[in-house]
């Protein structure tokens, strides 16, 4: 027997209509919410990636293998060259002096031949053996420490920046300038920048960067201009006291960018000043592009609080993120602003920085 409810069309159709209406009503609100997130349009999305982050965003094994390979190659090359040169010079001088002292007639010929043969044999054997031992020892120590500090997720491991004590003479030469102790190395340091070269409407823009933890010592900031040997600016800035997003204002250093010129900027922790290949650094590029009349008109017609929408749509990354970050700094509890910055981070693949902002949302 059919139910009276479904058999009565006067009741059935209105109920179905109301049910569909209730299901559809929330959809416009979701669409509006999605439209409120800024959309960044890279002006050069097909060009090469120009941003680099300091720290290994992958696994610990990746950091270990990178550190081990670098330590092995550098240790072997240095050990071999030093061992070979020392073995050659000592073997030749000793062979020559001994052969010459044993007889004037035989001395020169034997001294010369023995000097060459002993010098090359000792130089090669000592160079090869020292190269292997030093290469493996440095590879293991550096690979292990860098693999842990840069590879392990969620946490800053203590890294000991000390030269391997292979012999007293070399340790004294290589350890000078290092920290000589355990210092907690941040797991990530990243420029707040787009993957490709980011645009700015200002000739003295604000550059922002993220660090995953405090750094008690100096951080080196460098600004380079293509085709120029010397940096435009090289400055040591104070390390931040905590994890967060920090900024560098070029106006503070009286630096003005030339239009349509790509500048590359670096932030670096320098654990071993005499071995700059060990720098923990991030880099990105910025270009000052004078805004068009259309963009200037749109910005003039837009409220300052919403200017980051216009900047992002027009491809001006640095201005969009500066405008948005300034508002977040003034309204730290404004989840809408922070969610919009998270959306921009997501579009340029700043995943770890995006996770940091997510932790600060008041309504998680």
Name the CA radius of gyration of the chain, rounded: 31
From 39, 36, 17, select the one nearest 28 (Cα to Cα). 36
Q: Write down the pLDDT at residue 307.
A: 98
DSSP 229: S
pLDDT in tens, the chain (364 residues): 444 444 454 444 444 444 444 444 443 333 333 348 999 999 998 999 999 999 855 434 444 444 444 444 445 455 545 555 565 556 556 654 565 455 445 555 565 566 556 655 665 556 555 555 555 555 554 444 444 444 443 334 333 333 333 333 333 333 334 444 567 889 999 999 999 999 999 999 999 999 999 999 999 999 999 999 999 999 999 999 999 999 999 999 999 999 999 999 999 999 888 888 889 999 999 999 999 999 999 999 999 999 999 999 999 999 999 999 999 999 999 999 999 999 999 999 999 999 999 999 976 5
What does DSSP say about strands 280-288 and 198-200: parallel, antiparallel, or unpaired? parallel
- What's the DSSP call for residue 186? -
Global confidence as pTM: 0.62
Query: Tokens 């992002």 map to which residue?
Result: 312
Neighbouring-strand partners of residue 210: 190, 245
Give the Cα separation of 278 and 275 in Å (integer): 6
355: Cβ–Cβ under 8 A, 6 or more apart, which residues? Answer: none
161: part of which helix (H) or strand (E)? Answer: none
Q: What is the pLDDT of residue 102?
A: 57
Task: Specify the DSSP class assigned to residue 213.
Answer: S
Angle, CA of 118, 122 and 126, to the nearest 5°:
175
Orientation angle between helical segments 317-330 and 307-314, nearest 10 degrees: 160
What region, left, alpha or beta, does residue 136 occupy, with left being phi > 0 and alpha being psi -120 to 50 degrees? Answer: alpha
Domain ranges of the chain: 60-183, 189-359
Answer yes or no: are the C-beta atoms of 117 and 95 closer than 8 Å. Answer: yes
**CA of residue 295 relative to chain centroid, distance:** 32
Give the Cα separation of 189 and 243 in Å (integer): 10
Closest listed residue to residue 139, CA positions, set 202, 197, 69: 69
CA dist 220 and 223 (Å) reads 10
pLDDT of residue 135: 52
CATH class for domain 189-359?
mainly beta
How many whole angstroms separate alpha carbon 16 and alpha carbon 22?
A: 10
């Amino acid at each position: 027997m059919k139910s009276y409810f479904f058999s009565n069309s006067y009741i059935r159709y209105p109920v179905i209509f109301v049910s569909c209406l209730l299901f559809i009503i929330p959809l416009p609100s979701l669409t509006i919410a999605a439209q409120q997130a800024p959309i960044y349009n890279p002006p050069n999305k097909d060009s090469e990636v120009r941003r680099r982050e300091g720290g290994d965003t992958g696994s610990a094994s990746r950091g270990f293998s990178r550190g081990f390979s670098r330590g092995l190659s550098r240790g072997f090359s240095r050990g071999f060259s030093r061992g070979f040169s020392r073995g050659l010079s000592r073997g030749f001088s000793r062979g020559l002096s001994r052969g010459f002292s044993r007889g004037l007639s035989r001395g020169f010929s034997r001294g010369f031949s023995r000097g060459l043969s002993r010098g090359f044999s000792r130089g090669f054997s000592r160079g090869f053996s020292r190269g292997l031992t030093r290469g493996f020892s440095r590879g293991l120590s550096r690979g292990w420490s860098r693999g842990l500090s840069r590879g392990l997720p969620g946490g800053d491991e203590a890294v000991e920046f000390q030269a391997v004590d292979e012999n007293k003479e070399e340790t004294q030469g290589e350890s000078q300038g290092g920290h000589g102790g355990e210092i907690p190395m941040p797991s990530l340091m990243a420029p707040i920048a787009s993957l490709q070269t980011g645009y700015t409407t200002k000739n003295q823009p604000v550059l922002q960067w993220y660090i995953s933890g405090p750094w008690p010592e100096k951080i080196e900031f460098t600004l380079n201009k293509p085709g120029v040997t010397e940096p435009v600016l090289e400055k040591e800035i104070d390390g931040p006291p905590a994890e967060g997003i920090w900024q560098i204002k070029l106006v503070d250093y009286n630096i003005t960018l030339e239009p349509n010129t790509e500048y590359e900027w670096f932030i670096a922790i320098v654990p071993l000043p005499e071995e700059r290949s060990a720098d923990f650094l991030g880099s990105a590029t910025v270009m000052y592009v004078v805004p068009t009349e259309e963009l200037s008109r749109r910005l003039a017609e837009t409220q300052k609080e919403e200017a980051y929408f216009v900047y992002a749509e027009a491809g001006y990354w640095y201005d969009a993120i500066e405008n948005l970050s300034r508002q977040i700094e003034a309204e730290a509890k404004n989840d809408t602003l922070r969610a919009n910055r998270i959306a921009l981070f997501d579009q340029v693949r700043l995943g770890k920085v995006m996770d940091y902002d997510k932790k600060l949302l008041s309504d998680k």
